[in-house]
Amino acid sequence: MITVEHLTKRYGEFTAVNDLSFEIEEGHVYGFLGPNGAGKSTTMNIMTGCLSATEGRVSVDGYNIFEEPDKAKRLLGYLPEQPPLYMNETPLEYLKFVGEAKGLRRQELTRQIETVILQARLEGVENRLISKLSKGYRQRVGIAQALLGNPKIIILDEPTVGLDPIQIIEIRDLIKQLGQEHTVILSSHILSEVQAICEKVLIIAKGKLVAFDKPENLEKLFMASQGVSFVAEAKKDEIDEILKEMDAVSGWQMKALENGSTRVDVQIEPGNVSDICRNIFFAFAGRKKALLELTSKKANLEDVFIELTESNEPEAERGESNVTEAEMKESYTPEAAVKKGDSEEREVEKE
């Protein structure tokens, strides 16, 4: 559907997108994930022909966006980060212009405008000035605009930014609905959003693709570093005895709780977490020791995201220094990541 090959975009000295290659297939909802300033919007602008690339090529259904922009753009509907709306027009006038520019005429134009107004749930406001509409409705006018001409691919750049929670839910529902008929690509820096809507996730950091897979596969990738945690009514030496017998357990920490029970965090070797939980349960049950809590710590997309985008950063900064990945993981704490993320955002703003 869309093929991006070795895409690079440089602004003078600054490289916004660095040798990005990926392929997007028909009929899925794709999520474009990355911290602020990672090059999401730049990539989307290039994919839709709004921006030129320094190097590389983008083809939409076989048409090169730079050489045959007319044919390629007909297959795309694009909602930029800031919806491009004419404030002194009504949604109806605006959609009419966009439809005509997309080559729709007469009945076809009226029919499609009616359809997208229903799809984007704009009925009732189509004759009010866009400048008088709320942000959620403006976003919908933007989406309606992208839907005109019935394009195969719809690209939405941060469609839920700045909306209130109810509007966010509505827009997400709309996107899910669109995903049934179109290929949808949306960008976001909100993980839960991507996890909720997207079937496949592309994570980019510093203009490079760092991961491209289904959300659940990405989580599985990082299961290895996870563990099991439980609270048992047992003494420390009893727990030591039980855990020593288990092969899959590589280490544990214990902490006595006030009510006489003990909290244990267990590091496990890669494998099926459920098996280990089951073993722990039966081992304690066999000795008539009660388990008050038993949870497997599941990796979520957030960990994957932070891991991927952060591990990319020290590499770039430290250059050839011999830091192994394990060392980096060890020194990593979520708090530090948040701080780092903040300073990165500030840098981007300065630029």
Partner 1 sequence: MIAVLKHELSGYFHSLTAYIFGAFLLAFVGIGAMIYNIQQAIANFEYVLSFVSLLFVVLIPILTMRVIAEERKQKTDQLLYSLPITAVQVVAGKYLALLAVYFIPLCIISVYPLIFAQYGEVYLITSYGSIAAFFIMGAALISIGMFLSSLTENVGFAAGIAIPVILLNYYSVSLAEHVSSTAFGTAIVLCILCCALGAVIRFLTKNEGLAYGVSLILIAAVGAIYIKKPEMFEGLLPEFMRKLSLFERFYTFVSGVFDLTSIVYYFTVIVFFLFLTVQSLEKRRYN
Binding site for partner 1 (CB under 8 A): 11-12, 45, 48-52, 69-71, 73-74, 76, 78, 80, 82, 84-89, 93, 97-98, 100-103, 145
Residue 320 Cβ, how far from partner 1 at the closest point, in Å? Answer: 31
In the sheet where 208-213 sits, what is the strand order? 76-79, 153-157, 183-188, 29-33, 200-205, 208-213
Residues in contact with 5: Cβ distance below 8 Å, sequence separation at least 6, in sequence order: 21, 56, 57, 58
Q: Which is nearer to partner 1, 31 or 149 (CB)?
A: 149
Question: Measured between alpha carbons, how far is 200 from 219 in angstroms, rounded to an integer?
Answer: 12
| H/E element, 343 | helix 334-350
Q: Which is nearer to partner 1, 79 or 174 (CB)?
A: 79
- The Cα angle at residue 182 between residues 178 and 25, in degrees rounded to 5: 130
Residues in contact with 308: Cβ distance below 8 Å, sequence separation at least 6, in sequence order: 203, 205, 210, 211
Q: Which is nearer to partner 1, 122 or 239 (CB)?
A: 122
Residue 208 Cβ, how far from partner 1 at the closest point, in Å? Answer: 22
Q: What are phi and psi of 39, to 5 degrees?
A: 105, 15
- What are the strands, taking DSSP E only, across 189-235? 200-205, 208-213, 227-232
Q: Which is nearer to partner 1, 16 or 228 (CB)?
A: 16
Residue 182 Cβ, how far from partner 1 at the closest point, in Å? Answer: 16
Residue 73 Cβ, how far from partner 1 at the closest point, in Å? Answer: 4
Q: Which is nearer to partner 1, 101 or 292 (CB)?
A: 101
Residue 7 Cβ, how far from partner 1 at the closest point, in Å? Answer: 15
CB 270 within 8 A of CB 259: no
Q: Which is nearer to partner 1, 74 or 200 (CB)?
A: 74
Q: Which three-class secondary structure state does DSSP give residue 276?
A: helix
Q: Which is nearer to partner 1, 44 or 277 (CB)?
A: 44
State CA 90 to chain mean position distance.
33
Tokens of 194: 């991507």
Residue 76 Cβ, how far from partner 1 at the closest point, in Å? Answer: 7
Token match 């309606």: residue? 144
Q: Where are the alpha helices (DSSP H) in 212-333?
A: 215-221, 236-244, 273-286, 301-318, 325-331
Residue 314 Cβ, how far from partner 1 at the closest point, in Å? Answer: 31
